[in-house]
Amino acid sequence: MRVLMVVAALVLGSMSATKAETVDYLDLPLVNGNGEARGGVHPDLPYDRAALEQALSSNRDKGVSPVRFKALLWQYWIVRAADDAGVRLADWDPQRSADSNRAVIFAVYDFYAKLYLTHPESLRWMGFANIGAPAFAAGMLDLGTVPELRWFSSMLMSMQKHIFMDLGAMHAAYLHGGVEAVEELRDAGIIDPATTAAWADPAQAVLEFSSREQNLVIADQFDRTRSRLLPPGEIVTYAITVAGPMPVPGGKTPAQYRPLFGGPLPAFNYADRVARWDFLSNDTVPAYERLSEDAVKKIVTRPFAERVADYRARARLLDLVLPFGRDVP
């Protein structure tokens, strides 16, 4: 009997040692860092908050460099943001149809509105993200209804998830852990020093966060979308530029901002990162910055589903045929 007890103790001890060795989740690559696949940043990482916190505490207590548990740290804050938004990260898959992802798409943007309404003086970027979202969501749903264009719909959904994984996770870190949590993201190599510095005064960081979103987070994905050959991404992304409304009051549409030969078509493709940032930084973001808090609240408190419906292609037929046919809202 004593021999059996010794053997059992050795087996259990071995199992515990194995578990202790694997629970730290060190040096994992960010295999899904761009959010294009289902789930989090690495398939070996758990989605349970307690398990993630335990692993993080273990690594911190051992003095492990945050660079080594980069994937774990990022996964943790993405899970926190997803929990706050009422989204199951494990099931979030941009490769599913837009219609099947509708609840997730809407929940994310409703979450942005909630954060703005709760912290209107500091989390101002969230109001901007929510206001610009209906046109983006409508594009996902419209492209998803055409079989030949569903790849483009999936790319837009991937961009939404990628932005949530980056900026959504940062906001969760700031809200639940303060500037110190944001600095740990920097130390792990998840965000850069300039982005970290912006969190010293997030109320003034709308342009900084928008630049990160457009020029770092989704820039490559937009480039790949534009370069798609079948059907031609150049045509699809230009069509998005033509159809794309500007839901920020006081802002211009792409065609109004830079018309082609003075006509009703835009002289640039929104998928071009330089042209896109010129448009956003010189027109769209300033238009948002001019809005009062009450004006932003009035927009973001309107049901998101209603605002998306306003920007669906069938609802905007006149705008698509005559881009200057209606005043900017």
Across the 329 residues of the chain, what is the mean pLDDT of every consecutive 10-residue run? Answer: 46 45 84 98 98 98 98 98 98 98 98 98 97 95 95 98 98 98 98 97 97 98 97 95 86 95 94 97 97 98 96 66 44
Largest CA distance in the chain: 92
pLDDT of residue 316: 63
Among the listed residues 66, 82, 29, the one whose alpha carbon sits nearest the alpha carbon of residue 181: 66
Among the listed residues 296, 313, 317, 280, the one whose alpha carbon sits nearest the alpha carbon of residue 137: 313
Among the listed residues 231, 246, 234, 240, the one whose alpha carbon sits nearest the alpha carbon of residue 291: 246
Residues 6+ apart with CB under 8 A from 278: none
Decide: helix, strand or coil at residue 259: strand
pLDDT of residue 325: 42
pLDDT of residue 243: 84
What pTM, to 2 d.p., does this model score? Answer: 0.90
Give the integer Cα–Cα distance in Å for 261 and 230: 29
Residues 6+ apart with CB under 8 A from 103: none
